[in-house]
Amino acid sequence: MPSEDTNLDKYLNYSGPDQVVTSFELDDILKQSNEHAVCVKSKMPTLDRLLEGFESGELIAISGPRKSGKTLFAQSLTVNFLPTKSLWFSYEVTLKQFLRTFPELPLFMSPLKLKAYSLPWLKERILEALFKHGIGVVFIDHLHFLFDLVRARNTSLEIGQVVRFLKTLAIDYNLIIFLLCHMRKVDLTEEPTDADVRDSSLVSSESDTGLIMWRLVDTENQTIVKVAYSRRTGVLDKKFKVAKINGLLREVQNE
């Protein structure tokens, strides 16, 4: 029985955004919210078959050794996702250099200036792009520009907080967020795994999908893309090949 000082009316009449509802009410609410949900396809047949597209509320980590094609892969997705609009935070190169890397400039959004190590600023620009331009996808290149490595007391925990922050943004605003992550130095004769992501295992434990890329040393321009994990579809360690064709990465058939 409730204690005498329990304010029953407070709970019986509560109707806030976090109120407790029945499963049937929850189902109706989710069906209504799905009207604004985003689901996009990569136009890479194997990836679309394995993941059944990318859905609102998901955080996707893209990792791999340096020069493995992570940024080019994300740029290719930007083009393939159209007409769904993307927002880019490209910290590694100047905006001028970034625009030049596209063979033909597609429509996407970007801040005029970037501010590193500030999650509140990042959220403000994401919301600006959402309300001004109706974006559905966000690309962040890359993770280590979102926190100050020099001042971090515990790098792994700092990364975990960043990844959880991005996951919450994806859920709250019906966005698909792609986070590019560097990988620690690995033996290029061995297949990298999600455990090789630099500085933290929390990236793989907190993200919905992990994509890992590495170049084939015995080919001119081919790269392996591995779906290391997908929590929604249950896929583990499935691979396919891509190659740079007309300036973007395209899936190629196994020889």
pLDDT tens digits, one per residue of 7-55 = 888 889 999 989 999 999 999 888 877 656 789 999 999 999 999 999 9
Mean pLDDT of 225-240: 96
Which sequence spans correspond to the domains of the chain?
A: 44-252
- Comparing CA positions, the residue from 138, 134, 83 lying closest to residue 106 is 83
pLDDT tens digits, one per residue of 55-113 = 999 999 999 988 889 999 999 999 999 999 999 999 999 999 999 999 999 999 999 99
Residue 59 and residue 177 in contact, taking contact as beta carbons nearer than 8 Å? yes
pTM: 0.88
CATH C-level class of 44-252: alpha beta
Residue 152 pLDDT grade (very low, low, confident, very high; cuts 50, 70, 90)? low
| β-pair partners for 249 | 244
Rounded-to-integer distance, Cα 155 and Cα 162, Å: 11
Alpha helices in the chain (DSSP H): 8-12, 23-33, 45-51, 70-81, 95-100, 119-133, 155-172, 202-206
Q: Tell me what pLDDT residue 43 has.
A: 96
